[in-house]
C-alpha cells in the first residue's frame, strides 16, 4: 500500500476544514470524498461503510469521489467512528 504524502495529508486538512455540514451523513460523505487513492483500500472502505452504518438514516459513502480534493481521511473517520460508538 502506498503511504500518503505530506501534501496529500495537507489537502485533506484543507478539504475537511471547508466542510461545515451539520447533517452527519452529508458530513461523512464529504469527508470520504476527500480521501486520496492511497487511502481507498478495501480495509479503509470497510471502516467508512461501518461508520456510515451506525447512523440512524441510510448513508452511502464513496471513498475519494471529490476530484481535486483528495487526501487521507483515516483519522477523521476513526475519530467519527469512535464518537458514534461512544454516543450509543
Per residue in 23-48, pLDDT tens? 788 888 888 888 888 888 999 889 98
Residue whose C-alpha cell is 475519494: 64
Q: Is residue 21 part of a domain?
A: yes
Confidence band (pLDDT; 50, 70, 90) for 19? low
Q: Is residue 66 part of a domain?
A: yes
pLDDT for 39? 87
Q: Is residue 64 part of a domain?
A: yes
Query: Which of 47, 34, 30 is closest to 82 using CA atoms?
Result: 47
Q: How many domains does the chain have?
A: 1
Q: Is residue 82 part of a domain?
A: yes
pLDDT for 71? 38
pTM exceeds cut of 0.85: no
Give the domain range for residue 40.
6-87
Query: Which of 79, 66, 83, 78 is closest to 12 using CA atoms?
Result: 66
Q: Is residue 1 part of a domain?
A: no
Amino acid at each position: 500500500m502506498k503511504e500518503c504524502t505530506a501534501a496529500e495529508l495537507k489537502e485533506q486538512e484543507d478539504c475537511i476544514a471547508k466542510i461545515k455540514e451539520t447533517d452527519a451523513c452529508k458530513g461523512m460523505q464529504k469527508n470520504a470524498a476527500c480521501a486520496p487513492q492511497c487511502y481507498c483500500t478495501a480495509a479503509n472502505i470497510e471502516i467508512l461503510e461501518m461508520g456510515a452504518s451506525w447512523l440512524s438514516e441510510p448513508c452511502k459513502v464513496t471513498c475519494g469521489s471529490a476530484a481535486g480534493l483528495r487526501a487521507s481521511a483515516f483519522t477523521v473517520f476513526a475519530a467519527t467512528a469512535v464518537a458514534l460508538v461512544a454516543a450509543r
